[in-house]
Structure 1
Amino acid sequence: MAIIQSNMAGNVWKILVNVGDTVSEGQDVVILESMKMEIPIAAEISGTVKEIKINEGDFVNEDDALIVLE
């Protein structure tokens, strides 16, 4: 199991995956908005989305858990 974490504080602008989706290493899974910029968050490993811990519009801090892969 792996957890994809936020690399900065910002608002969750868009979630690009759903529970059950298979993602590849390097694939963008979430887009954060911070200071009017869109920052993509990519999966560091391949896996299947087990849980999405955030909702669009949520504010997250650096190192917050976003998505759980298995």
Structure 2
Amino acid sequence: MAEEIRAEMVANVMTVVVAEGGQVADGDTLVILESMKMEIPVLTEVDGTVTKVAVEEGDVVQSGDLIAVVD
């Protein structure tokens, strides 16, 4: 079952760590967000394959925006 990883706050996408097709494990960093000069890693809570990366470096995400899908 696909797991959608969504933003929990308004932030800038600083670094995209994973690529579509990449393998990830529970606890791996998918992207690093920047908000109020703090770097916030966005982690996956499941093992699987990244089937979609919905953000690019420099994007601004709002709370609830899709960041990635892991299947």
**1:1-70 mapped onto 2 (5 Å cutoff):** 1-70=2-71
Take 1:46 and 1:62, find their aligned partners in 2: how far apart are those partners?
Answer: 24
Structure 2: which 5+ runs fail to align? none
SS at match of 2:27: coil
Moved over 2 A (4+): none
Structure 1: which 5+ runs fail to align? none
C-alpha displacement of 1:22? 0.5
Question: Identity of aligned pairs, percent?
Answer: 41
Figure out how many residues of one structure are paired with residues of the other and give that number.
70
- Aligned CA RMSD, in angstroms, stands at 0.7
TM-score (norm 1): 0.95
